[in-house]
A and B are shown apart, each in its own frame.
Chain A
């Protein structure tokens, strides 16, 4: 079994680009399950269901859950276990950076992102986390860069206990952009093909919140 664990961001980027059906097509060629944690479901279904502007997209995601395109994490890991691991990870991640002057901890990530990491740790199978926002990725893949960036933005020195992150080094992340890349390469997008389509897909999700640079998009286009 393999798992693709979805954070809220990629579902939002893809929904707002009209690309939710691609998730269903990708599921058709994936030998595993697409997972949503309860935190993520709250952000992509329960909350937007109450906002008229986003209700249609929320209903579409709800429908995908009901049809089994997305599986809830509780079918693999109990909510209690997931919650306990999520709290543990939040304690670690939100204890890494402190201000040098006051020693105050900076809470960087939220339960939604931490629950994706927690499921990844607990599921006991090959998995990749799909996450569009940069902070969680930076925290595990390049924590020193995150520290430097925050010091610059906050105009204050920070103390980082990066050793706390040692157990978080093995997570693997992709974004909605890589999902679309795979879908395009596998011929799952039924539009006139070619590099223009890939360009449109990648910039489409970039402008809907996926943290990807123009340089990365240009590099990806060369891989086709």
Chain B
């Protein structure tokens, strides 16, 4: 965890916005993590970016709250967010001495949020898993948008290039002027020359 302090700040805010039921702020918070994730490419930073974005999406869907398993998921979320924050606070307070076990604990608590979905019976667990999966692709796309290559982003997010392809295709990323590095005719000429 290269940026424990920053992740602590993000998780505190996440807990606050979840309690306030503020999906909009959660998504904004997720965008903040992407800038630093592009540079640091720190796995924990990326996990948090996906988590926060997913929670924003989940909270937007009001009907999830009426489904079986919602209370179980929500309680696990609040509990584990709180425990992850406490672990990272210990890192901040004690410094290097107890950093590693507390960082490890923070990762375990964040992992438990997703794992709690496996215990939910009915459709809600699968719906939220889908949200997490799509959030991973979304964040991979965001890293690509920020300038990393497709394969680099797919590796960082653990998503397939195949899933990313359609996502990229539906965006306007190919239309940015910066991406036009050669006139169309010149590139066609390269293709025609190699084919003889």
- Does the CB pair B38–A211 fall under 8 Å? no
> Cβ of A172: which chain B residues have Cβ within 8 Å of it?
190, 194
User: Closest residue of chain B to A139, judged by CB?
Assistant: B149
The 0/1 profile, CB within 8 Å of A marked 1, for residues 152-196 of chain B is 101100001110111011100111111111111101101110111
- Does the CB pair A145–B165 fall under 8 Å? no
- Does the CB pair A48–B162 fall under 8 Å? yes
Most buried by A among B146, B150, B165: B150
- Does the CB pair B181–A141 fall under 8 Å? yes
If A206-B174, A208-B166, A208-B169 touch, whether A2 touches B194 (CB-CB below 8 Å) is: yes
Number of A-B contacts (CB under 8 A): 179
B44 within 8 A of A: no
> Cβ of B160: which chain A residues have Cβ within 8 Å of it?
47-48, 51, 54
> Cβ of B192: which chain A residues have Cβ within 8 Å of it?
182, 185
A78 within 8 A of B: no
A76 within 8 A of B: no
| Stretch touching chain B among A62-70, A109-117, A161-169 | A109-117
Give the complex CA separation of A210 and B191 in angstroms.
16
> Cβ of B195: which chain A residues have Cβ within 8 Å of it?
26, 29-30, 182, 186
If A178-B187, A209-B164 touch, whether A145 touches B181 (CB-CB below 8 Å) is: yes
B83 within 8 A of A: no
Contact for B41 among A31, A107, A210, CB less than 8 A: A107
Contact for A206 among B148, B151, B169, B180, CB less than 8 A: B169
- Does the CB pair B165–A12 fall under 8 Å? yes
A53 within 8 A of B: yes
Interface size range on A against B? 35 or more
The 0/1 profile, CB within 8 Å of B marked 1, for residues 112-149 of chain A is 11000000000000111000011111100110011011
Contact for B194 among A13, A128, A211, A219, CB less than 8 A: A128
- Does the CB pair A108–B147 fall under 8 Å? yes
> Cβ of B150: which chain A residues have Cβ within 8 Å of it?
9, 133, 135, 209
Sample (7) of A-B pairs whose CB atoms are under 8 Å apart: A13-B165, A110-B154, A113-B149, A141-B181, A153-B38, A181-B188, A209-B166
Would you list the 6 A-B pairs with minimal beta carbon distance, nearest first? A209-B165, A110-B151, A219-B184, A178-B191, A150-B147, A141-B181
Residues of B within 8 A of A (CB): 35, 38-41, 144-152, 154-155, 160-162, 164-166, 168-170, 173-185, 187-188, 190-192, 194-196
Residues of A within 8 A of B (CB): 2, 4, 8-9, 12-13, 16, 26, 29-32, 39, 43, 47-48, 51, 53-54, 57, 99, 104, 106-113, 126-128, 133-138, 141-142, 145-146, 148-150, 153-156, 172-175, 178-179, 181-182, 185-186, 206-217, 219-220, 223
